[in-house]
Structure 1
């Protein structure tokens, strides 16, 4: 009978901390509405002692987004790329707060040096999708309302198309567009952390995000409604409440990603 050596390394499987900015992901799990409501508390817990860091980071994101909009012709385009990279950095910040208990302001810019290529491709895909949807929407409006040169000339003269027909057609187009934008939201909701932390390619990340959001559509819908109400209430006192609401929602977003995907 062999004796146990107290200095021998354990032979059983031992959990290994995640390293290198990647999470071990599994198939997206189905969560409940109660789980979704718990994301707010989990986000608040990660913010303990780190409110200043996250608030400062969010202010920098807002200021940079505003600044690039002043660039002639390409401001909106630059903004889309920069925001994708900065949001990846914000995700890394919360990953470190969750796994290590601390983070640095430099983490906000991690997307400019880590996974930059896939993130840029993701931003390009997002831009292309929105462009196609807007073009299709405009084409649908013109087709449904039967716009032609005579109609446009009449509208310039102050003569509008038949209100009942145009109203119903526009309502139908708006409804279809709403469904399209919901679909786009499902595609991109989890895509940035899936690329940055999950090491997935842009196409795989979009497919995985859509699958996860569709599986948890009702909890995400309820969570989105509560989050929107929180932002509305926080905006009342001169928007100062957003200094509390936005960091909380950023933390809740990371918590949602972790609960749905991380093993």
Structure 2
């Protein structure tokens, strides 16, 4: 009969509980068109077994967004801050799905207790940028019509004004505004997960988001076109398809952030 050696290492494998992978944010990486199309599949894979909680989270998010719009005077302003905080929670939900395979509904409100200050600053910057764009739009509009009083009188009377050369100026002003809005979209597209998951300051997050979008402009445009078509199709059966399209697109967004920024 052999004696047991107390110093002998165990021969059987010891189970080690899986650890969540640390999210390491690097410089913006260039992705391909095929990578952009794979984000939808990655989002769907993360949702396996968790569709119910994610659908519920998005329904609550949309209902809160609608409800806050009815607040007198400040509804639209409050919605911008509320959605920034809730989108941070949505990002956390997919981060947990990606790393732990499970999620809690309470994670949707993580932005109200984690990184709240930087997220509020981010919302303020977003408000400032879009107010600035609105002011520029008004200036360009008046410049394009040349402050022509007769043209304004015709519009008030319900007649189509003869814009002549002004029509080309209005088209140019529209193009300029489109470029401004595109630039603003690039600034804020990845900013929330960069602040919330990447522990970045709002200014740094905006700069990195802008650079990442310019680096991957064509893949993001393709992704945006496919996502838009998906939303349009989802609205056909009384908007019920959005219950499936919403979580899928949210997962695809997280997948795009992870592939572009993480190492």
- Say whether the fold is shared (TM-score over 0.5): yes
In 2, Cα distance between equivalents of 1:159 and 1:248: 46
Cα 1:34–1:158 change in 2 (3 A) is closer
Quick check: 1:91 aligned with 2:91? yes
In 2, Cα distance between equivalents of 1:137 and 1:64: 30
Deviations 1:91-127 (A, max 9, x none): 0000000001001000000000000000000000000
In 2, Cα distance between equivalents of 1:213 and 1:151: 40
Q: CA RMSD in A?
A: 1.9
Q: Please tell me whether Structure 1 or Structure 2 has the larger radius of gyration of its CA atoms.
A: 2
Quick check: 1:176 aligned with 2:167? no
In 1, Cα distance between equivalents of 2:193 and 2:79: 19
1:148 deviates by 5.7
> How do residues 243-254 of structure 1 correspond to structure 2 at under 5 angstroms?
243-254=243-254
Look up the SS of the partner of 2:164 in the other structure.
Answer: helix
Quick check: 1:258 aligned with 2:258? yes
1:80 deviates by 0.1
In structure 2, the residue matched to 1:189 is 189
The answer on whether the counterparts of 2:20 and 2:100 sit within 8 Å (CA) in structure 1 is no
Deviations 1:10-37 (A, max 9, x none): xxxxx97446xxx211111111011111
In structure 2, the residue matched to 1:223 is 223
Look up the SS of the partner of 1:163 in the other structure.
Answer: coil
In 1, Cα distance between equivalents of 2:156 and 2:31: 53
The answer on whether the counterparts of 2:32 and 2:219 sit within 8 Å (CA) in structure 1 is yes
In structure 1, the residue matched to 2:74 is 74
1:6 deviates by 6.1
1:162 deviates by 2.5
1:166 deviates by 3.0
Look up the SS of the partner of 1:24 in the other structure.
Answer: coil
In 2, Cα distance between equivalents of 1:221 and 1:126: 21
5+ residue gaps, structure 2, are 1-7, 11-17
Cα 1:226–1:155 change in 2 (3 A) is closer
In 2, Cα distance between equivalents of 1:261 and 1:155: 50
Cα 1:44–1:168 change in 2 (3 A) is same
In 2, Cα distance between equivalents of 1:49 and 1:16: 20
In structure 2, the residue matched to 1:49 is 49
In structure 1, the residue matched to 2:4 is none
In structure 2, the residue matched to 1:11 is none
Look up the SS of the partner of 1:214 in the other structure.
Answer: helix
In 1, Cα distance between equivalents of 2:83 and 2:134: 20
Give the TM-score normalised by the residue count of structure 2: 0.90
Give the TM-score normalised by the residue count of structure 1: 0.90
In 1, Cα distance between equivalents of 2:151 and 2:105: 56
1:159 deviates by 5.8
